[in-house]
Each structure stands twice: as C-alpha cells, then as structure tokens.
C-alpha cells in the first residue's frame, strides 16, 4: 500500500439495500484501485470501508453520497481510520 494511503468508513442511510449499492461500490473501487469492503447492516444502512490514495478514496465517498440510480440516499456519515493494508474490495 502506498505511504499516502488513507482509510474512510462510510455509513449510508436511505433506500440503499436491494438496489445494487454494494456491487456498484465494488465495481468503482476496483476501477480506481481502492480496497475495502461493503456490507448491509440490520438497520437498513450500507456500511463500507475504502482504502487507497486520497483522491481515489474521495471519489468513492462522493459516489456513496449519491449511490446508483435506484438508490435514495438520505444521510452519509464519514469517519477517518488508520489504513490496515487491505488487498481487495469485497462484499460482506
């Protein structure tokens, strides 16, 4: 992982499950060399972690604010974390 890598944890609330949100995140993450994961939470939110170069991670965070066409994003929470050196992007 690059020395300048950052990590962001994102929680997205709204109509975000059942609309290919996680898979859309995975596709964009892989195309921008961002690692991490995304999962559905029991409260209806999608939670995701992004690791990579700052500009690439920010692209994913911005996408999460809108989501795929079928999604209706109501709220996004973003927090900073220390990178762990993840090597792929997975759906959990």
Which residues does the annotation mark as catalytic?
22, 40
Task: Name the residue with tokens 């993450």.
Answer: 29
User: β-pairing, 46-52 with 72-81?
Assistant: unpaired
Distances (CA, A) of 69 to 33, 65, 81: 23, 12, 29
Residue 74 CA to residue 29 CA, distance in Å, equals: 22
**Six token digits for residue 67:** 């989501």
């Amino acid at each position: 992982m690059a020395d300048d890598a950052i990590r962001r944890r994102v929680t997205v609330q709204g109509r975000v499950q059942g609309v290919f949100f996680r898979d859309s995140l995975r596709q964009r993450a892989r195309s921008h060399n961002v690692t991490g994961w995304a999962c559905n939470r029991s409260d209806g939110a999608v939670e995701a972690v992004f690791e990579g170069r700052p500009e690439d991670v920010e692209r994913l965070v911005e996408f999460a604010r809108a989501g795929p066409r079928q999604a209706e994003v109501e709220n996004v929470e973003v927090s900073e974390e220390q990178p762990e050196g993840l090597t792929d992007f997975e759906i959990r």
